[in-house]
Amino acid sequence: MVAVDHINLEIKKGEIFGLLGPNGAGKTTTIRMLCTLLEPTEGTARVVGYDIRKQPAEVRRNIGVVSEGVDLYGDLTARENLILFGKLFGVPRNILTKKIDDLLAFVGLTDRADDLVSTFSTGMRKKTLIVSSLIHSPKLLYLDEVTSGLDPQTAVSVRDLTRRLREQGITVIWTTHSLDEPEKLCDRIGIIYGGRILALGTPKEVKSVASVSVTIEMTLDMQPAREYLDYIKNLDGVVAVRSNERTLKITVHNHEASLARIIEYLNNNKVKIVDIAKKEPSLEEAFLKLIADASAKESGKIEQEVERLRKEIIEAMDKIKVE
């Protein structure tokens, strides 16, 4: 079984890149290979300029990781945890103390520096984990489900912290199951499924690739006649039309071309548009459509293969009967 199938991916320096995919899509395997925790069976990758197969030690020196497999020592204080991580990474003693003070101030934990981590809230613990991964000044940071289990306010502060890291020139790879986060946070995203990248680009570009429908809501100066609704419904690109007195809700694929034709038609029929609004599709809708399309395509391949095998078996059985 192939977990990651010949991914060709370039992540730009200093961007927040979201890697999204359902469980079993190949997301975790990809990250493990990029972290040098898992060696690829073929091919390779370069992380901050170093080959993950030939230069794994250099890769590790230049990355930070925050995931469920990384935790702090609850019986140590925040400062003691950072001292420990700093020594493990070989941070010189003469700069370690100031580095720790600066990082704790960066996440607003200066006044809790000498408290045991076991007394911290989940949000405080996550922030301490993030700064512990920054103790050696990495160029690339992997943040895996860092907002999982956080209250909304703390999740917002963690996202703000991530943006501040980008401003400092740190590249961030962000993975999450909460699909509203990448749309707010990430410069670009990649959707992975079946070990392959289905879509890659800005959230807007990915939604465009997925051809997700847009809903246009119009308020008219009169209730439209049935013939108007029938005409709009039959236009190319129009998926559905719903009417409620003077309000029209029109679901379309190519909204710009469709909208121009709808406006022209209504104007020609002396129907005045009082208000118009467009509801953009969400990244979650695009994600679900891409996954559904890929799953259907894969199911079709499986059915074809089953049918081919069925025919081979029948032919083999007929041959046996003849012989």
Q: What's the pLDDT tens digit per position in 14-46? A: 999 999 888 777 888 888 899 999 988 888 899
Q: Which residue has the higher pLDDT, 308 or 9?
A: 9
Nearest 5 degrees, angle CA 255-CA 260-CA 261?
100
Query: Which of 181, 208, 235 is at the close of a domain?
Result: 208
The mean per-residue pLDDT over the stretch 133-144 comes to 94
pLDDT, one tens digit per residue, over 152-188 is 888 889 999 999 999 999 999 998 877 888 888 999 9
C-beta separation of 250 from 238 below 8 A: yes
- The pLDDT-based confidence of 226 (bands split at 50, 70, 90) is confident
Query: Are residues 197 and 147 both part of a single domain?
Result: yes
The mean per-residue pLDDT over the stretch 298-310 comes to 62
Q: Is the pLDDT of residue 255 over 90?
A: no
Query: Which of 258, 279, 300 is at the close of a domain?
Result: 279
Query: Are residues 22 and 147 both part of a single domain?
Result: yes
- The pLDDT-based confidence of 3 (bands split at 50, 70, 90) is low
Q: What is the model's pLDDT at position 163? A: 94
Query: Are residues 166 and 22 both part of a single domain?
Result: yes
CA 138 to centroid of chain Cα atoms: 22
We report the CATH number of the domain holding residue 248 as 3.30.70.2470
Q: What is the model's pLDDT at position 211? A: 66
Query: Are residues 189 and 239 both part of a single domain?
Result: no
Query: Are residues 48 and 150 both part of a single domain?
Result: yes
Q: How many domains does the chain contain in total?
A: 2
Q: What is the model's pLDDT at position 28? A: 84
Query: Which of 189, 208, 227 is at the close of a domain?
Result: 208
Given phi > 0 = left and psi -120 to 50 = alpha, else beta, which region is 140? beta
Query: Are residues 179 and 37 both part of a single domain?
Result: yes
Rounded Cα distance between 40 and 33, Å, is 6
Query: Are residues 194 and 134 both part of a single domain?
Result: yes
Identify the DSSP state of 202.
-
Residue 322 lies in a domain: no
C-beta separation of 240 from 246 below 8 A: no
Query: Are residues 165 and 38 both part of a single domain?
Result: yes
Residue 156 lies in a domain: yes
Query: Are residues 197 and 144 both part of a single domain?
Result: yes
Q: What is the model's pLDDT at position 56? A: 94
C-beta separation of 35 from 227 below 8 A: no
Q: What is the model's pLDDT at position 245? A: 87
Query: Are residues 49 and 149 both part of a single domain?
Result: yes
Domain that holds residue 122: 16-208
Catalogue the long-range contacts made by 260-265 (C-beta closer than 8 Å, 24 or more residues apart). Answer: 261/235, 262/216, 262/218, 262/232, 262/235, 265/228, 265/231, 265/232
Query: Are residues 224 and 266 both part of a single domain?
Result: yes
| pTM (predicted TM-score) | 0.75
Q: Where are any strands of DSSP class E within the chain?
A: 16-20, 46-47, 50-51, 63-66, 140-144, 171-175, 188-193, 196-201, 214-220, 238-244, 247-252, 273-279
Residue in 202, 199, 205, 215 with CA at minimum distance from that of residue 291:
199
Q: Is the pLDDT of residue 309 over 80?
A: no
Given phi > 0 = left and psi -120 to 50 = alpha, else beta, which region is 248? beta
